[in-house]
Amino acid sequence: MSAKLKHIAFIMDGNGRWATKRGLPRSAGHKKGAEVLQEIVKTAADMEIPCLTFYAFSTENWHRDKAEVDYLMNLLRQYLHSELKEIKERGARIRFIGERDMLDSDIVAQMNNIEAETAANEKFTLCIALSYGSRAEIVHAAKMMAASVASGKIQISDINENTFASQLYTAGIPDPDLVIRTSGEQRISNYLLWQIAYSEFYFSKTLWPDFSAKEFKEIIDDFNTRERRYGKL
Ligand code: FPP
């Protein structure tokens, strides 16, 4: 695997279509999707890719039917309970990015607990975007900077790309080298807008519940053939 590849971010799209195609409720697609997420995390950890981010729930997803939102939140509760235990045992650090005040308090308590328990782990970072929207994240960072200027903690001249990035939810996490979106849609959907300035993109036609470790490895092989110039010659 390429030494350059530090962070891969996923948009796990197509759960609903996968289920509908099989005459199943959308929830069946999310359930299978959560299993695929677990498989990809294990594969990446085995390949020593140090950081993964998954878009599990966007701020826009709150507008879905209550039954679907409730299903996803219960899936998350289960996930936080069971699978994350194994991830911790692997020496992984868990980070959550997004608007926590929109989430139920028991979930937030679980998230805070897992983050605190794993904060010192350095081998692998699993970042889960939950109730996440990138524009809201950027506005939040701008407010934090403005408050620091207003209180005299910093000067306007102290604001630069590094100090601004340190106020994003992703502070301390390297920018994604590669963004993978499944299901054939070719859009970013308010995901990591600041952080993807120099990312490579891979749009797979596969619906997320059909995504596999095999395809993941093929995408990494494809990435390793790309020449990244960061705007230079
Ligand atoms: C997009 O598919 C997927 C989501 C909105 C949710 C992603 C969530 C999972 C894969 C499960 C996550 C696991 C946890 C731990 C919560 P879609 O529903 O938009 O599919 P469609 O575009 O085909 O309708």
Beta bridge mates, 32: none
Q: Which residues of 71-95 are buried (b: 16+ CB within 10 A; e: fewer)?
A: bbbebbeebbeebbeebbeeebbbb
H-type helices in 47-179, by residue range? 66-81, 83-89, 105-118, 134-150, 161-165
Q: Is 17 in the pocket of ligand 1 (CB under 6 A)?
A: yes
What does pTM read for this prediction?
0.95
Q: Which of 61, 121, 175, 190 is catalytic?
A: 61
**pLDDT reported for residue 14:** 98
Q: What is the pLDDT of residues 152-186, one digit of tens each?
A: 999 999 999 999 999 999 999 999 999 999 999 99
**Tokens standing for residue 116:** 């605190």
Q: Is 55 in the pocket of ligand 1 (CB under 6 A)?
A: no
Tell me if residue 113 is catalytic.
Answer: no
Instruction: Collect the ranges in the chain with pLDDT lower than 50.
Output: 1-3
Atom of ligand 1 minimally distant from the CA of 26: 18
